Structure 1
Amino acid sequence: MTEIVDLFWSFRSPYSYLVTPDILRLREDYEVEVKFRPVLPIAVRAKETLFTDGPQKVHYIILDVLRRAEFLGMPIGLPSPDPIVQNMETLQIAEEQPYIYRLTGLGVEAERRGRGVEFAHHVSHLIWSGGEPGWNEGDRLAEAAEKAGLDLADMDAAILETDPMPVIEANQAALEAAGHWGVPTMAVRGEPFFGQDRIETLRWRLDRLGVPKRL
């Protein structure tokens, strides 16, 4: 029987970007089904708690993300535009958010079409790999979707016809039920593994559960 791995993930999270190649390898190595469950970032999901403990947290995250990317041999750069419209000096979140709701809804639709992890992989690389600014301009997002085997225009039409928010909210509730709030979080049988650096621990757990490896 195939083991289910829930992947709670955000398009605003650099750690989500960094974990995605590991998730693809995990799926190649084990008899698992990875359920891609995109959530809204804390910046809009629970903005009253965001960085309330001072600027040190922001500074450390930037330091750690750059270090972790170098350790993994992955390119990284600040996204332009940021998927969340936010004043990074005051940390104030704008009321209008033209990017993150669409991206998260597209993630839901990609998973519905069986290509959620692939979509996350290519789109997060577009946003976070430090390429030319303007990931949202021209055909760049459509090209990333095409690499994942998807048609962006068709997906946009689908999320206009069927509101993805109920699925997003269910994903957020499932993340909380699994015992965490941050991303990326992987969950197996209700046990959460939070953070890009918990992949090896997740692999250990799959081995302990007797999940077969693919030949």
Structure 2
Amino acid sequence: MYPPPAEVPARGRRTGIFGGSFDPPHLGHVSVARDLIGALHLDRLLVIPAGDPPHREVMLPAEVRLDLTRRAFADAPGIEVSSMEVERLGPSYTVDTLEALARHFPADRRVLVMGADQFAQIHRWERWRRLAELARIAVMPRGGREPSPSPESMPIEYVVVHVTRVDISASRIRRRLEQGRSVHLLVPETIRHDVERAWAGRRARHAAQ
């Protein structure tokens, strides 16, 4: 499902694209997304959960991750959660997403946001050279270190965007959930019980096997 094209300025919107597995979505995602709106002067930020991440195994089904992500960002102004990758069959390649957005919203000025760790591996992405043709690339530093492209991806144009990084990771949350521990203050309270319940059901299914 594509966000509605209502009230599009003649010169197009400045649209950020923030993708990921969101397995599960957490407060770090929400904090970064809010900062990106101002730091990149965006008219809107599209948060796009991957349906079938090609380079990462996910624990929760796509539909569950999409629902949790929608609820996690429900009260965040300027942020829209899109189901386009969940609805699209096959691996969720970013280049396909950008090409689809370019077809549906040709006037938009697209900004693809990623972390420094993702940027370091961008040469492994599907048709990675095409990404910079479809969107400006904005990279968030990590661990106080400025991002840099790998030798394989030189030269590639990008900008550095500084946001407040919250020391929360989905892998840390998943470890706590696998141990049956609470994720209070790690994920939005509006989804915490459902996240914990989903993992409790997952543990129960694995125990019964």
TM interval, shorter chain, is under 0.3
Higher helix share: 1
Higher relative contact order structure (alpha carbons within 8 Å, sequence separation ≥ 6):
1
TM-score (norm 1): 0.27
Higher strand share: 2
TM-score (norm 2): 0.27
